[in-house]
Copies of this chain bind each other. A is one copy, B any other.
């Protein structure tokens, strides 16, 4: 029995979204064409624009999906555990993503450096993704300070931004070397020097 058209259509959209996330992460924005994505998705030719307005629109979808999978919810106090435990769990989780760092890096960091300045909505989406991450980490750092688990008088948002920077740079170095060691060292140094 053939699927109703609406289900087939939803399937095509999902496959385009999946293929884009994979290819943008591996080859970058400029290194991936709409044609590449359609081919990888096995989508019928000419259906792309039924689902996405542009390559940029699809890249926004990739940024949203990637950001949603970075474990920010692990920082939320609803998770239980002390604030420092939640921060450490989150950092351990993103460090665990390093298995693919040697090939792919972090999608947010890749887009941040690849997309030219003033390129509009995609760059803004990447910046907003960093912003949400820094904000969530800053809240947890403040909670850890209030609980006496962390000390120091830098603004929590500044310290959180530094942690995000350190991770992104480690992911970039891992991608350049094809070796995840830099990301593992990020975890070791951050827990020893920053989470104090």
Interface residues, chain A, with chain B CB atoms under 8 Å away: 26-28, 30-31, 102-105, 108-118, 123, 126-127, 130, 154, 158-159, 161-162, 164-173, 175-178, 182, 185-186, 188-189, 192-194
Contacts and interface: CB of A to CB of B under 8 A. Distances in A.
Contact of A112 (B164, B166, B173): B173
A173 B161 contact: yes
Contact of A176 (B27, B130, B192): B130
Given A104-B117, A113-B114, A116-B28, A162 B176 contact: no
Q: How many copies does the complex hold?
A: 2
Contact of A162 (B31, B103, B115, B166): B166
Contact of A193 (B117, B175, B194): B194
Nearest to A129: B176
A127 B175 CA distance: 9
Contacts of A114: 28, 30-31, 110, 113-114
Nearest to A111: B176
Main secondary structure of the interface of A (DSSP, over half): helix
B185 A31 contact: no
A25 B20 CA distance: 25
A146 to B, nearest CB: 20
Nearest to A166: B166
Nearest to A184: B158
Nearest to A28: B114
A160 to B, nearest CB: 10
B162 A185 contact: yes
Nearest to A30: B30
Contacts of A159: 189
A114 to B, nearest CB: 5
A164 B154 contact: no
Contacts of A176: 108, 111-112, 115, 123, 126-127, 130
Contacts of A154: 188-189, 192
